[in-house]
Structure 1
Amino acid sequence: MRKTRAAAAVTVVTVMGTLLAACGGGTSSDGGGSNEQPKTLTYWASNQGPNIAYDKKTLAPELAKFQKQTGIKVKLEVIPWSDLLNRILAATTSGQGPDVLNIGNTWSASLQATGALLPWSTKNFDAIGGKDRFNASAVAAAGAPGKDPAAVPLYSLAYALYYNKKMFHDAGITTPPTTWADVIKDGKKISKNGTSGKWGLGLEGSNLQENIHISYVLAKQHGADFFDKSGKPTFTSPGAVDAVMQYVDMMQKDKIINPGNAEYAQNQSLQDFAKNKTAMVMWQAAASNFNSQHMSPSDWGAVPMPVQSGAPGQGKQVNSMVAGINMAIFNNTKNVDGAKKFVKFMTSDAEQVILNKAYGSVPPIKTADSNAAFQQTDIKVMANTLQTSATPLPQVPSESQYETQVGTALKNLWANVAAGKTVTKATVKSALSKAQQQMTQ
């Protein structure tokens, strides 16, 4: 995970404009740049599948197809999520980045503020078929409001609650949960106060992004946010504290989460799910991961993420952040035209079907998500969530710092519970206060 390296790295955001001016970018904001058009593009892809080898196998034939069509070779590097933000921030500082890269859509506004990414003006969108091709919710998570997006939606995702049908059947649970109270009730039937050797719910306490995503959703359900309308952090608001306390208590008080999950970082909770050790997981596009664990689609089900009461919707009924992957172009690429051709290729209807089918994600392209490949239950749950009950994480310049600071605060709280220490609301508020103090203004 990011750990302390990220905490240091994010401080470069506030000075990035000056640093980039010294790097000598190769294009204007609309992609003017040099007439020289290299025949190779470097591409940093995010790790979307169960492992890096899966991503390379998935992307290789598509990159070969692009080279055949255009004569442009794409040099691929798949980067784990634990390293991706640090690598991007280092590249924006040095000016030595790839031509094209994937970014988590929650980072869009932060990276936009550095000036390192090509703005997607109307002219640039027109070069890839137009902005109207993309779903509005996906574009809303591509940069700060009122500014040209910093990236283009590539894969859309939302959280769903996945449940292990065998474990539910064995526990006598006939219907999946819809509220957090249901999750706790069902989880207790399975974990039996932590004595059964099985657990109701899995999480990855050392995964900073997951910590942020779930705590943000819970905060929205408590009528709170982690920033005010001006973009100022409000980490210690009563609703934010209540949200984090509710989350932590699922391990501490309700005992439906294995304390060992505090150390989990990436995909371990899915492995426990596949081995009938954990009955429920909260995840984005888990199908390819389950397949890699030799689970049949008949072994698991998917339902919308729980709410406090009632049904998912807007306001306090938000049950996911707008998750997904965006595709960006570094401003100092020597081949902006080739880079835009590559983005156009990757967001074409045909490629969107191929890639999103491989990753179990939802195409952000309006004409692609109705394809028969995306009609299975879990994909439809995610698509409906994106349309009706998801909201973007705060599109503020300090968002990446927020992920690091609050994500780390949650990580430490999980570790305290796992070590047998009591976590109270005062403990939570203190941890969030410390995280807020460490934010760079």
Structure 2
Amino acid sequence: MRLFRTTALAAATTLALSALAACGGDGGSGGGDAKTITYWASNQGADLSVDKKVLAPELAKFEQQTGIHVKYEVVPWSDLLKRILAAATSGQGPDVLNIGNTWSASLQATGALQEWDDASFAKIGGKDRFLASSLSATGAAGKTPAAVPLYSLAYALYYNKKRFADAGIDKPPATWSELVATGKKLTKDGKYGLAIEGANNSENAHHAFVFAKQHGGDFFDAAGKPTLDSQAAVEGVTQYVNLLAGDKIAAPGNAEYMQNESVRDLATGKAAMLLWQAAGTALKARGMKEDDYGVAPVPVQSGAPGQGAQVNSMVAGINIAMFKNTKNKDGAFQFVKFMTSDAEQKTLNTAYGSLPSVKAAQEDPAFNTPERSVLRKALAESAAPLPQVAAESQFEDLVGAAMKELFAQAAAGKPVTADDVRKRLQKAQQQMPK
């Protein structure tokens, strides 16, 4: 465990320190200036420029209200985790940062993040303001949270209504067998039934988690030990990879798709279906109107979505955290309070197509659209948090990379068997901290 983390952190530190130097040294946890804080925002929009357009007026509003200037950087998801780990090691990071909520326990284990005990939550209005499902992904069970929910998300099935109508399909699939059958009807003339991102490790790991749940298992046992090569994990990953490899309802080129490329394919009609978190805003940015796409729950093996084997989404979302060594702790607390206020929760989540993590804000009629109603229901009734254990980030990286290899194998025209999946997951298991 120590060897893996040390190696990963050392490599990440080198990359992050060079990046910090390149951006003029905005790190350093605030630099001791009581009128300035630094903030790393995650990429929530269709591209980085969208985030800057969304955030700039809100950060100006915060400065006007408090007199505190925010130096911010929007960090791509491909770089965010390694940048955070490097900052945790070097002490040269921002005052406030966004983190993927699935990383909460992994980053908590570094000891670098501010703990959010009852007194800390009281400074931002109290813990009971936040959704219970979102709070479930803020740190290891039984420990004081290491972050605060900011944007809440869940997966849904998005589909191109025109492609469905042209094929004579009048409703979205509710089970995986229905999805495969629907996908085969839609796979013709150079177009495909479904778009996936086979080279996106995080997306791969998220879907692997859901499929394993639906097969009655998980990637960690009750004690938090990794079980990456369990039978349920093998069955779940095999079923997901087979959407390209065996069922052939996804294009071979999808094996190389990274962030947001599958969204583009749904918008252009190249693909008819997509499994994604709050895709509406990104689809509109690519020219789709709200009436052009439909939104439905992610399919399950049988029956209706729910808990246990009917889980159809992870508890997705973004948390906001503070580095413990910030030299402007008061300013950092004020900023988190501002970002999680009812008013900002409405503004920011409206812009990003996500759901507020604050109960009062989520009751706003703006979050009762057809898309957001599906997401809200999934988050409340049929989503499960990824295991909040220290090794979660390694799980995402190793399982996601194993699936990337399997997709590449399928794209090369080679069959992918359950034994192939088992061998790759066994290799990943061997690399996990014990």
Fold match by TM threshold 0.5: yes
Q: For residues 380-424 of structure 1, give each alpha carbon's deviation from its aligned partner in whole angstroms, at most 9, with x where no partner exists.
A: 111110110000000000000111111100111000100112211
Partner of 1:94: 90
Q: Deviations for 1:146-166, whole angstroms, at most 9, x for unmatched residues?
A: 111000000000000000000
Query: In the alignment, what sits opposite 1:436?
Result: 429
Q: 1:184 aligns with which of 170, 180, 183?
A: 180
User: Residues of 1 paired with 2:414 and 2:424: CA distance?
Assistant: 14
2:323 is matched with 330
- Partner Cα distance (1:55, 1:357) in 2: 13
In structure 2, C-alpha distance between the alignment counterparts of 1:231 and 1:6, rounded to whole Å: 17
Runs of 5+ consecutive residues of structure 1 not aligned to the other structure: 14-25, 28-32
Q: Percent identity?
A: 61
Contact 1:10 1:401 in 2 (8 A): no
Q: What is the match of residue 402 of structure 2?
A: 409
| Conservation of the 8 A alpha-carbon contact between 2:246 and 2:415 | no
Asked if residue 389 in structure 1 is aligned to residue 382 in structure 2, the reply is: yes
- Measure how far apart 1:440 and its partner are: 2.7
Verify the 8 A CA contact 1:37 1:338 in the aligned structure 2: no
Do the aligned residues in 2 keep the contact of 1:201 with 1:278 (CA within 8 Å)?
A: yes
- What SS class does the counterpart of residue 368 from structure 1 fall into? helix
Residue 69 (1) aligns with residue 65 (2):
yes
Separation in 2, partners of 1:135, 1:304: 20
Which residue is equivalent to 1:235?
A: 228
Q: How does 1:251-400 map to 2 (within 5 A)?
A: 251-400=244-393
Alignment CA distance shift 1:386-1:124 (3 Å): same
SS at match of 1:298: helix
> What is the rounded CA distance, in whole Å, between the counterparts of 1:49 and 1:12 in structure 2?
28
Matched to 2:202, the amino acid is: Q
Residues 9 and 86 in structure 2, CA contact (< 8 A), matched pair in contact too? no
SS at match of 2:220: coil
AA aligned opposite 2:155: Y
1:47-196 to structure 2, matched below 5 A, reads 47-192=43-188, 196=189
Amino acid at match of 2:361: A
Aligned to 1:19: none
- Per the TM alignment, residue 11 of structure 1 is displaced from its structure 2 partner at its CA by 7.9
Instruction: State the AA in 1 paired with 2:96.
Output: V
CA-to-aligned-CA distance 1:189-210 (integer Å, 9 cap, x gap)? 0114xxx211001110111110
The answer as to whether partners of 1:10 and 1:400 remain within 8 angstroms in 2 is no
Q: Shift of residue 10 of structure 1?
A: 5.4
Give me the whole-angstrom Cα distance separating, in 2, the residues matched to 1:10 and 1:179. Answer: 41
Whether the aligned pair in 1 keeps the contact of 2:214 and 2:309 (CA below 8 Å) is: yes
For 2:148, the aligned partner's letter is V
Q: CA offsets, 1:182-229, max 9 Å, x none?
A: 11011000114xxx2110011101111100111100000000100001
Aligned pair in 2 of structure 1 residues 101, 162: CA closer, same or farther (>3 Å)? same
Tell me what 2:8 maps to. Answer: 9
1:108 and 1:61 map into 2 onto residues whose CA distance is: 28
Cα shift at 1:438: 1.0
1:41 match: secondary structure: strand
Q: Give SS of 1:367's match.
A: helix
Moved >6 Å (runs of 4+): none
Task: Report the Cα distance in structure 1 between the residues aligned to 2:95 and 2:150, rounded to whole angstroms.
Answer: 16
CA drift at 1:7: 10
The alignment of Structure 1 onto Structure 2 pairs a total of residues equal to 416
Aligned residue type for 2:60: A
Indicate conservation of the 8 Å contact 2:246/2:416, yes or no: no
- Among 21, 35, 39, the alignment partner of 2:35 is 39
Equivalent-residue separation in structure 2 for 1:10 and 1:37 (angstroms): 28
> Once superposed, what is the RMSD of the aligned Cα atoms?
1.8
Query: Aligned in 2, Cα 1:204/1:10: closer, same or farther, shift over 3 Å?
Result: farther
Task: Select 1:220's aligned residue among 213, 223, 226.
Answer: 213
Mapped to 2, the partners of 1:401 and 1:255 lie a distance apart of 29
Output the TM-score relative to the length of structure 2.
Answer: 0.93
Could you state the TM-score of these two structures normalised by the residue count of structure 1?
Answer: 0.92
Does the CA-based 8 Å contact 2:306-2:381 persist in structure 1? Answer: yes
C-alpha distance in 1 between matches for 2:47 and 2:168: 34
Distance 2:287 2:8 in 1: 38
Q: Secondary structure at the match of 1:327?
A: strand
